[in-house]
């Protein structure tokens, strides 16, 4: 079904002159319906968002949709898809992501995943090698070096959290903005939704993001491209080489200048270009 808001320019800047039709559908899973956005035509690429959640397709998704079919599910608790209390551990999430990949019909496709979602994608690839043909992993969590731990995001105020997630001030403003026309009840619902997505993201990485992924990465057979923002203080860019050393087939893209942890929001065109160049 076409989204009534489809066809408008992408949020958060990027290729603002490009507009594409957006389809929004609810994909049935054992965790309930999962809101999924689809846009563009061409080779299919799955797109898993980061801890900011997914209320609508981002500028990077719009960019890719110029010559790809982008399929972007909103994971439970990260926006229009309700949270699921049965997702208690990383294992629960991996089983859920495996089912979602089946339900979307994207087993063996190319995927892009950011931050906590990239960690889950790598966990799935370790136990289900056929899940992805290739993966562009943008600043994945999942490793932790006590000598280079990065910033503890959840020890910071909300304002400081936003600064560490996104470097671009205009993007931060857009993320924090209140949609026009919301009444008092709508504002309360929005506030609750934003709290739930922060809590859900924190449940995956706090107090430590290390769930043993380092011991499983050797099982990943999909080609992985690792992407980092040069200004990422949450998962330092030095972790890219650490991941690459543990993965059988991985390359590390040069850190993207001016980008923090949520690279696809800070530098949508640069991430889209890396996905296009990914030959997996």
pLDDT in tens, 99-114: 999 999 999 999 999 9
pLDDT in tens, 65-74: 999 999 999 9
Which class for 218: exposed (0-12), middle (13-18), buried (19 or more C-beta within 10 A)?
Answer: exposed
The whole-model pTM stands at 0.92
Angle in degrees, CA 39, 229, 141, rounded to 5: 80
Of 140, 131, 166, 142, whose CA–CA distance to 46 is shortest?
131
Task: Let me know how long the chain is.
Answer: 280
pLDDT in tens, 184-196: 999 999 999 999 9
Per-residue confidence band for 118, with pLDDT thresholds at 50, 70 and 90 = very high
What pLDDT does residue 12 have?
55
pLDDT in tens, 14-55: 444 457 899 999 999 999 999 999 999 999 999 999 999 999
């Amino acid at each position: 079904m076409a989204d009534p808001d489809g066809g408008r320019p992408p949020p958060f800047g990027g290729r603002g002159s490009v507009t594409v039709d957006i389809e929004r559908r609810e994909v049935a899973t054992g965790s309930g319906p999962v809101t999924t956005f689809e846009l563009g035509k061409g080779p299919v690429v799955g797109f898993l968002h980061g801890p900011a959640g997914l209320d609508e397709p981002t500028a990077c998704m719009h960019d890719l949709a110029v010559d790809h079919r982008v399929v972007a599910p909103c994971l439970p608790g990260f926006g229009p898809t309700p949270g699921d209390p049965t997702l208690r551990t990383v294992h629960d999430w991996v089983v859920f992501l495996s089912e979602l990949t089946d339900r979307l019909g994207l087993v063996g496709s190319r995927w892009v995943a950011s931050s906590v979602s990239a960690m889950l994608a790598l966990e799935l690839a370790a136990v289900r090698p056929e899940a992805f043909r290739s993966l562009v992993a943008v600043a994945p969590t999942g490793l932790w070096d006590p000598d280079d731990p990065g910033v503890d995001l959840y020890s910071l105020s909300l304002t400081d959290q936003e600064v560490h997630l996104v470097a671009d001030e205009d993007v931060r403003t857009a993320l924090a903005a209140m949609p026009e026309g919301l009444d008092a009840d709508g504002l309360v619902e929005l506030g609750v939704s934003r709290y739930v997505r922060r809590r859900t993201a924190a449940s995956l990485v706090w107090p430590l993001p290390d769930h043993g992924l380092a011991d499983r990465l050797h099982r990943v057979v999909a080609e992985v491209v690792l992407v980092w923002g040069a200004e990422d203080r949450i998962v330092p860019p030095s972790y890219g080489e650490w991941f690459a050393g543990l993965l059988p087939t991985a390359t590390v893209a040069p850190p993207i200048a001016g980008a923090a942890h949520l690279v696809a929001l800070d530098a949508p065109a640069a991430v889209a270009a890396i996905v296009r160049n990914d030959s997996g």
